[in-house]
Chain A
Amino acid sequence: MRPDELAKLLRGRYPEVLLARGEVTMAVPREELQATLEHLLKEGELGFDFLSDVTATDWPGAAPRFWVAYHLLSLRWMHRLRVKVGLAEDDPRLPSVTSLFPTANWHEREVFDFFGIVFEGHPDLRRIELPEGWVGHPLRKDHPMGGVNTSYRGAYIPPPDQRGL
C-alpha cells in the first residue's frame, strides 16, 4: 500500500494520523498501545508483522516530554508505519509489547537504559548498554555532559552543550 492510501485507511479508525515525507505516523495513548499494535498486526490489509525498531525522543519543557516511537513494517505489503506514544515527565511508564513482538525485548531495555522509560510487564528490564551502576539516563537532554579540566594553565573545556556552537 502506498503511504497516502495507508494514511487514508488508518484515518478511518484512528484520530491522529500524519502523512509527511512519505511516512505515516500515528499517535496513540499508552492505554491503547497494545490493542493498537495487535490490531495492526492481525488486520490482513495492514499486516504489520515485523517490528523494526523501538526508540524514544526527549523534549524537555514540552508536554508530553517523551515520545516513544515504534517502527513497524509489513513484510507482506512492504509498507511502514510509525506509532508514537507520548509520556509525561513525571510518569514515564507504558506497557511492554514483548508478548506481541519478542524482538522488542532488547529495544525496550535500550530505551529504559538511555531514557529511563519503564516498560511494564517486560520480562527482564535491566540496563543493556551501560554498566549496572550508571547513574541517570544519558540520552535525556538534561543529562550532565561533563567538562574536562586540563593541565594547561587551568584551562577548562566546557561540556559540549555549553560550548555555544
Chain B
Amino acid sequence: MAATSDATRETMIINMGPQHPSTHGVLRLVLELDGEYVVSCRPVLGYLHTGIEKNTEYRTWQQGVTFVTRADYLSSLFNELAYCLAVERLLGIEAPPRAQVIRVMVNELNRIASHLVWIATTSLELGAVSMMLFGFRERENILAIFEMVTGLRMNHAYIRIGGLRMDLPDGAEERIKGFLRLMPGRIGEYESLLTGNPIWRQRNAGVGYLPTEELLALGVTGPVLRAGGLAHDLRKRAPYSGYETYEFDVPTREESDCFARYQVRMEEMRQSLRIVEQCLARLEPGPVMIEDPKLRWPAELSVGPDGIGNSERYVKHIMEESMEALINHFKIVTQGIKVPAGEVYQAVESPRGELGHYVVSNGGTRPYRTHIRGPSFVNLQAIPKMIEGGLIADVIACVASLDPVMGDADR
C-alpha cells in the first residue's frame, strides 16, 4: 500500500487570486494544499501598485492630497487626514476649530461606510447574500452625504492642508441627522441576521485565531488587534484632531477569531455614530480654512449644477477687482507653497488600523518623500499564520476578517 500513502501525501499548489472574487481586490495567495487542508500559504502583492508615493514627489504639496486619497479607496478621508496633519505639523499650523470638528465627523462617517463594505463583502463570501445588499444599501446613504458635502462619492480630496476644501452645504446637517436616526436600528437588524445565525457562527467562531502576542509581533493593528483583547486605538491612546474631547468606547473581545472581529466592527459603527452625533452638537460657525494668504488654498469653491468650481463671487474678485489676488492665486496654484525642511510621522486610526504617513520635506514646494504605512499591507502578513494547517474554506473567512484593501496594501 506504499503507493497509496505516497499519493495521499502529495500536495497541490493552487493560485487563489489575483482575480478571485473573495480576495477583496487583487490579492494573490499561492496555496499548497493537502486535500482540503492548507499546508503553506504565500501572499503575492503588487497587482495594484500605482506608485502613489513616487507620484507625490513630482506634485505640489496640495496636490499630494489628491494622490494619497486614492491609496485606501474605501477610507480615503483617513489618508487625507493623516497626510494633511503631517504637512500641517511641518508647517507649524493648525486647522480652525470648525474644520477639525468636520474632519472628525466625515472620518467617522467614512469608518462606518468602510465597515459596511466589510460586512457586505464578507457576508457575501460566506454565503449570506442578503446581508450584502443591506450593507451596500446603507453605505449608499453615506456616499450620498459625501457627494453632497465633498462633491464626490469617493476619493474626495476634501480635507486640505490648513482645513477643508469647503464648508458644509445647506441641508447637510439635517441629512446626517437623518442618517443618525436610521442607522442604529439597521445595525440591530444586521446583528439579528448574523450574530445568532448558525452558519455565520460556524464559519467565523474559532476560525483564524491568533494570540495577541503574535498579532503584535506581526504588526497587526485595528479591529483585528482589538478583537484579540488589546484596547489599542490611536484615537484614545494618541489622540489627534481633538479626539480626546469626544466620548466613545473602544470595543474589545478576547477570542481573537473571525467572529470576535465581526463583533468589534459592529460595535465600532455604533461608537462612530456617537462621535458623529457629538460633532453635530458642537458645530459652531466659523472659517474652515486658515487665514494666512501665503498658505491657504486661494479659492472659494462651491457646488454648482455642473459640479464643483470656483464660486462666481471669487472669479469676479480675481478677474475684475484685485490684481494682487490674481497674482497670489496663480502663484499658489501653479508653484505651490513652501514647507520648511524636516520630517514627521503622523499616525491615525483608520478602519483597518494604524495608518501612518511619513512625510519628508527639503524646504521645497513639493514633498521630498511621502511614505504611507498602510495597515492592510502590514496586516496581510498575518495571513499565512492564520490559515496554515486550516481548511481551505476558512481561508476566505480569514482574509475577509482582516479587511484588506489592496489599494492600501500596494499603494
Binding site for B on A (CB under 8 A): 20-23, 25, 49-53, 55, 57-58, 69, 71, 75, 78, 80, 82, 101-103, 105-107, 110, 114, 127-131, 138-139, 145, 160-161, 163, 165
Contact of B358 among A49, A50, A58, A71 (CB under 8 A): A71
> 12 pairs across A/B with beta carbons < 8 Å?
A52-B354, A53-B371, A57-B369, A75-B232, A82-B345, A101-B217, A103-B218, A105-B381, A106-B377, A127-B46, A145-B58, A160-B58
**Complex Cα distance A145/B54, Å?**
10
Evaluate contact between A103 and B347: CB separation under 8 angstroms: no
Q: Mark B365-378, 1 if CB is under 8 A from A, else 0.
A: 01011010100011
Evaluate contact between A57 and B410: CB separation under 8 angstroms: no
Q: Mark B172-201, 1 if CB is under 8 A from A, else 0.
A: 000000000000000000000000000000
**Complex Cα distance A125/B354, Å?**
25
Residues of B within 8 A of A107 (CB): 378
Evaluate contact between B237 and A78: CB separation under 8 angstroms: yes
Q: Interface residues of B, CB < 8 Å — how many? A: 39
A113: shortest Cβ distance to chain B, in Å? 9
Evaluate contact between B49 and A129: CB separation under 8 angstroms: yes
Evaluate contact between B345 and A106: CB separation under 8 angstroms: no
Shortest Cβ distance from A80 into B: residue? B345
**Complex Cα distance A49/B232, Å?**
13
Q: Mark B301-341, 1 if CB is under 8 A from A, else 0.
A: 00000000000000000000000000000000000000000
Is B279 at the interface (CB under 8 A from chain A)? Answer: no
**Complex Cα distance A23/B54, Å?**
24
Residues of B within 8 A of A49 (CB): 216
**Complex Cα distance A82/B347, Å?**
13
Residues of B within 8 A of A53 (CB): 345, 356, 358, 371, 373
Evaluate contact between A103 and B219: CB separation under 8 angstroms: yes
Evaluate contact between A128 and B219: CB separation under 8 angstroms: no
Shortest Cβ distance from B42 into A: residue? A124
A103: shortest Cβ distance to chain B, in Å? 3
Evaluate contact between B371 and A55: CB separation under 8 angstroms: yes
Evaluate contact between B360 and A23: CB separation under 8 angstroms: no
Contact of A128 among B46, B58, B92, B366 (CB under 8 A): B46
Known contacts A52-B373, A57-B369, A139-B53; decide if A129 and B356 are in contact (CB<8 Å): no
Within 8 A of A (CB), among B75-93: 89-90, 92
**Complex Cα distance A57/B216, Å?**
26
Residues of B within 8 A of A20 (CB): 342
Evaluate contact between A128 and B45: CB separation under 8 angstroms: yes
Evaluate contact between B368 and A50: CB separation under 8 angstroms: no
Contact of A71 among B217, B232, B373 (CB under 8 A): B373
Evaluate contact between A23 and B58: CB separation under 8 angstroms: no
Is B238 at the interface (CB under 8 A from chain A)? Answer: yes
Closest 3 CB pairs of A and B: A103-B219, A160-B58, A53-B373
Given contacts A25-B343, A75-B230, A127-B46, 15 further A-B contacts (CB under 8 A): A21-B92, A23-B345, A50-B216, A53-B345, A57-B368, A58-B369, A71-B345, A71-B373, A78-B238, A80-B238, A103-B381, A106-B380, A107-B378, A129-B46, A138-B51
Evaluate contact between A165 and B58: CB separation under 8 angstroms: yes
B288: shortest Cβ distance to chain A, in Å? 24
